Amino acid sequence: MNPGQDAGARPRRIGVLVAIAIATLALDAISKAIVVATLPDRPQPIELVGGLLTLRVIRNGGAAFNIATGQTLVLTVIAAGVVVAILRYARRLRSLPWAVTLGLLLGGALGNFVDRLFRSPGVFRGHVVDWIELPHWPVFNLADASIVCGGVLAVLLASRGLQVDGTVQRDDKSGKPDETAEPDVTAEPDVTAEAQDVPVAGDDQSGGARPDAKR
């Protein structure tokens, strides 16, 4: 990638990251607002698709899937650190797959961070709204799903050697060429030795004048 292409790729990739993060945050916030306004009035959770999907509102004071319940303040600080880390990491962003991945991670982290920041029982101690329940799986929300999808994509991209800056790193033990290496096009063939062996027209190899074949 030449400097001109590189300069144009970064803003486009960051635009994709920001768009996905905003869309994820908006969908998460809208879905939580709807379920908080409608589902708590129902005495029983709503079962859909023959019980494969259940809509149930719970307030989660822990991390995703009810992990680390009661550590809301600590998790809020961690979430803020994750958001800052993603934004700093995005400065080297040149890869479209990584733009999608970081957008999902950022949007999901912001979705739950907003809950912890503004919902009851208080600032930095708010409980996250979870409302999606699957069989044999803890209740979660769209932000949790976005974080999981982003994490899976990050593992897949890293396993393939794709870096955030768009380069690909290969394991030397695999015997595959390193795709990050560029051929050296500046090297020129050594023609000195060949030029020394080429006789000049009119010269006699013995040092004397070259006789004419015919007179």
Enzyme catalytic residues: 130, 144
In the chain the first and final C-alpha atoms are separated, in Å, by 65
> How far is residue 14's CA from residue 86's CA, in Å, rounded to a whole number?
11
The 10 Å CB-count burial string (b at 16+, else e) for 65-81 is eeeeeeebeebbeebbe
> How far is residue 87's CA from residue 21's CA, in Å, rounded to a whole number?
11
> How far is residue 81's CA from residue 69's CA, in Å, rounded to a whole number?
19
